[in-house]
Structure 1
Amino acid sequence: MSNSSPLVTPGSCSIMGELPRVPSNISLNLNHTPNTTTNDNTTDAFMVGSVSVSDPKGESKGDPKSDPRKDSDMEIKTREMLQEASLTQKYVESLDLPQLNDIETHCVETLQSLNLPTPPLRRVPPLLQSLYPPSFPLLSLSSVRCTRFLLSVPSSLPLSSPHSLNYAEITGRNCDNCIGYIPLPLGHAGPLPLTILTAEGKSDKIFNIPLATTEGGLIASISRGLKAMRTGKTTAAVTQDVMTRSPVIEFESLELAVKFKGYVEEYPEDVRREFERGSRYLKLKEVECKVVGRTCYLRLGGETGEAMGMNMISKGSESLLKHLQKTWPLKILSVSGNYCCDKKPSALNFIKGRGKSVTLECTLPTSTVLNVLKTTPEKMCKLNYYKNSIGSSLACTIGGCNAQAANVVAAIYLATGQDPAHVVEGSQCVTVMEVVEGGLYVSVTLPSLCLGTVGGGTELKAQKGMIEYSGAEGGRELACVVGGGVMAGEISLVAALVEGELVKAHMELNRKK
């Protein structure tokens, strides 16, 4: 694909065959690691990280101890292998890259672009080795050239390469004992037009939905749902924005525990002040105290700005506990007592909400249901009742009154740098469908979306780029984007199920021909 592909912005959609691009100020590189098997079951592998080149017979090339004078022969062999690998050849041609015999030039140009002197070719591997983390040995000059060739050319694909990761920043923040990264397929669905309701009024915006997934057919299904939604008007609102943490503390008697409950639930000024010491963005919104014998489970809820806020609210909780110890004879058992409830199925979160609670509604015209979804409002409404209400009740799900909310939540979380463990809370969703005059009314309500647009994985270059690409300004708008994607997925899947198309669609879209 050439660099002239159109930029997909809010309000536009890429045409078939062209992939969306991230904003021009986001610099992301292409990472491609082909593993091609020819018709005679031979393999041509190029691995990014611990780089290796295998010849068609499976014999390893590029032993570090080999004679440097043989490099030229290895270069020739590598070029021959690249030319024989049809998939790699087609891939290179599709990107409109320079000819394969320019590998050496690209390798040297890469060094020059890094302000390094152009060395004799046999000195290239140790110089490039210095650009990699220690866990990524580069085994040969041929390996270096092939890998650098596939990585060094700018591309509009919204992917990242090992070179876009700042390992100094990752260590101590995102990953310990970091040995590399796992690439995931990244797709696009959209546009998603929303009318967002806020305390100040309402605003109309158009978003894109980035999704990282390995499930073929998921994005196609979401895209069909979005097509249906665009024929109506979709309204979204964040009804609550409170992250929670629940310390557990112990007293000498039940009497003291009850007295403490009466005190802390009155929101005294010192409780608010000490809790908000955790961050200038932290604002106390609720305090609940559950007494169990002589122990108390505090459920502290607060707004955390644009961050998801778990670290922030944990700091605030710890600060408050240390202050309370000065005036109360309490023993801190843990800053988290599971009454939060964090990353576990919980009826409490389903009822009270955790993080951002969002709800959306849309009315689909009857013509849309007939022509786009290939079914009727009555059929969809009936199946939604028997599947998402009765079926979920029989299974005793906790908030699982939906068809596939977790699919969409997980894909967006991975693409935008959210904590994927919070898909547990995000899977709680109520999908409602009603037959109304002129069409089908649909609503989705997700009470516990634990997400943000700053901090944690959202600071990674590619993930930050995907947040910008979505068009969401802040965590509340991103929650609305997640809700819109979930609604699209619910609409399309229920329609597919009611017409018996699910298996057929997966066989066509989730099985490589």
Structure 2
Amino acid sequence: MTDVDVDDLADSVREGELRLHELEEHADADVATAARRLLVSEQSGADLETIGSYGFPAEAAGPNVENMLGAVQVPIGVAGPVRIRGGALDDERYLPLATTEGALVASVNRGCSVLDAAGGASARVTKSGMTRAPVFKVEDVVEAEALAEWVRDNVDELADAAESTTSHGELLDVTPYVVGDNVYLRFRYDTKDAMGMNMATIATGEACDLIESETGASLVALSGNLCTDKKPAAVNAIEGRGRTVTADAIIPRDVVESRLHTTPEAIAEINTRKNLVGSAKAGSLGFNAHVANVVASMFLATGQDEAQVVEGANAITTARTRGDPGDADLYVSVSLASLEVGTVGGGTKLPTQSEALSLLGVAGGGDPPGTNADALAEAIAVGALAGELSLLAALASRHLSSAHAELGR
């Protein structure tokens, strides 16, 4: 690659010799990004100076974005520290939250302080597996049943084919679903510390080749939407996707009254009437107050696939009193059915996101493999629990609007 300056590179595009996506082939990534920014600024009339001010080499973002102009900077704050008593993470941690929503970090921070005053929160990953579900075309239901039976009889052969494409992934199971002359096969993988969507896709493609060679079925699409990726889906709420994780805590009555200025009974009633009954009436797949807020902000901070907030917010919050009436403590939990997270690959390799993962103590691969991604899932679940507790208490004490007004939001 020869040395070339920004203006010369931009001239090559103006003269039709190069296209925007070809610039990195003729200059280093920062020069290509600057030339592209110059051309787009000229065409749009927009001042892109701030977008062009970023704190990492453009080359680092090469696997994550095309036609790079620069970077969008989202403010990042921390909540905590909060004690997380997890299966993979048992320690106090600050939680990084990247957001533009005022009062969010303050609210989660309040919830973390309450959890800490109660001795912390427990968290466990109860199920794990990334899915990909291709759809096959068959002649009729007889052939559909035959395909489903063949799959059930040949799981080991399918595993050999799928796992030949990866040194880390492991096929856990394949579940057939028949709809007329369509057969959907939901492959589920243990992808260790990777979120694993690419791994699962490549592995499933290899398994599909085996199916077509050994049966009369014809592959229509490598993804048949029964996976289900980046869309609201009951199958994820029921069967899970990525990590299924729950966080819970018992908050003593005196802590609820002194820190949250309400009672366990009031929080439990609001949760039932709002998060459970209200969500059911709305036909919601998420029975919670604002789990998406914490999932989205921690996803952005740690380099997760932000579109998968759709599944990550698929959560149920429960709250009830424990003990004698009038002297009861508060039990509160959040169960996230399909939290798709990883600590290796994708956006986790970007410098700022890697630092946020280091802040949590979960950057890179875990020992044993998979434990860092489990720990990240536990941290997000505890953050969601803190956010739910704080918002429910604000509603119970009728402080929600005054809190936003006080913080100028």
What TM-score do you get using the length of structure 1 for normalisation? 0.67
Residue 496 of structure 1 corresponds to 394
Counterpart of 1:485 (choices 354, 366, 383) is 383
Alignment of 1:52-131 (within 5 A): none
Secondary structure class of the residue paired with 2:392: helix
Indicate the residue corresponding to 1:164 in structure 2.
55
1:194 aligns with 2:80: no
Change (3 A) 1:488 1:161: farther
Q: Distance in 1 between matches of 2:206 and 2:376?
A: 30
1:287 alignment partner in structure 2: 174
Letter in 1 for 2:350: L
Structure with higher RCO (Cα < 8 A, 6+ apart): 2
CA distance in 1: counterparts of 2:207 and 2:56, whole angstroms = 37
How far has the Cα of 1:132 moved from its partner? Answer: 6.5
1:34-433 aligned at under 5 Å gives the runs 133-137=34-38, 162=53, 164-171=55-62, 173-197=63-87, 204-233=90-119, 234-398=121-285, 400-433=286-319
The equivalent residue for 2:18 is none
Task: Give the 5 Å matches for 1:469-484.
Answer: 469-472=359-362, 474-484=372-382
Q: Is this contact kept in 2: 1:225–1:492, CA < 8 A?
A: yes
2:169/2:191 contact within 8 Å kept: yes
| Contact preservation (8 Å) 2:317, 2:335 | yes
Asked whether the 8 Å contact 1:446–1:483 carries over to 2, the reply is yes
Output the CA distance in 2 between the equivalents of 1:303 and 1:464: 23
Q: Is the 2:86–2:122 Cα contact (8 Å) retained in structure 1?
A: yes
Distance 1:166 1:267, change over 3 A: farther
Distance between the aligned counterparts of 1:228 and 1:303, measured in 2? 35
Counterpart in the other structure of 2:357:
467
Q: What is the distance in 1 between the residues matched to 2:210 and 2:224?
A: 19
Report the Cα offset of residue 196 of structure 1.
1.4
CA root-mean-square deviation: 2.2
Cα separation, partners in 2 of 1:191 and 1:320, compared to 1, 3 Å:
same
Write the distance in 2 (CA, Å) between the matches of 1:137 and 1:245: 41
Q: Give the C-alpha shift of residue 315 in structure 1.
A: 0.3
Map Cα deviations across residues 367-401 of structure 1 (whole Å, 9 max, x no partner).
Answer: 11011001011111111110011100110101x11
Is residue 37–residue 52 contact of structure 2 (8 Å, CA) maintained in 1? no
The percent of aligned pairs where both chains have the same amino acid is 37
After superposition, the Cα gap between the structure-2 partners of 1:501 and 1:357, relative to the gap in structure 1 and judged at 3 Å, is same
Question: Which residue number corresponds to residue 96 of structure 1?
Answer: none
Please give the per-residue CA displacement for 1:325-377, whole angstroms capped at 9, x wherever unaligned. Answer: 21112211000000001111111100111000001110001111011001011
1:457 to partner: Cα distance: 0.7
CA contact (8 A) 2:36 2:67 kept: no
Question: Is 274-283 or 313-322 further displaced after alignment?
Answer: 274-283
Contact 2:155–2:174, Cα closer than 8 Å, also in 1: no
Which structure shows the bigger proportion of residues in helix conformation? 2
Once residues 492 and 226 of structure 1 are traced to their aligned partners in structure 2, the CA distance between those partners, rounded to angstroms, is 9
Q: Is residue 505 of structure 1 aligned with residue 403 of structure 2?
A: yes
Question: What letter corresponds to residue 168 of structure 1 in structure 2?
Answer: E
Q: Highest CA radius of gyration, 1 or 2?
A: 1
- The offset of 1:169, in angstroms, is 4.0
Q: Which of structure 1's runs of 4+ aligned residues deviate more than 6 A?
A: none
Structure 2 vs 1, CA of residues 475 and 161 (structure 1 numbering), >3 Å: closer, same or farther?
farther
Aligned equivalents of 1:255, 1:449: Cα separation in 2: 37
Question: Are residues 444 and 326 of structure 1, via their aligned partners in 2, closer, same or farther at CA, if it must alter by over 3 Å?
Answer: same
What amino acid is the match of 2:381?
Answer: G
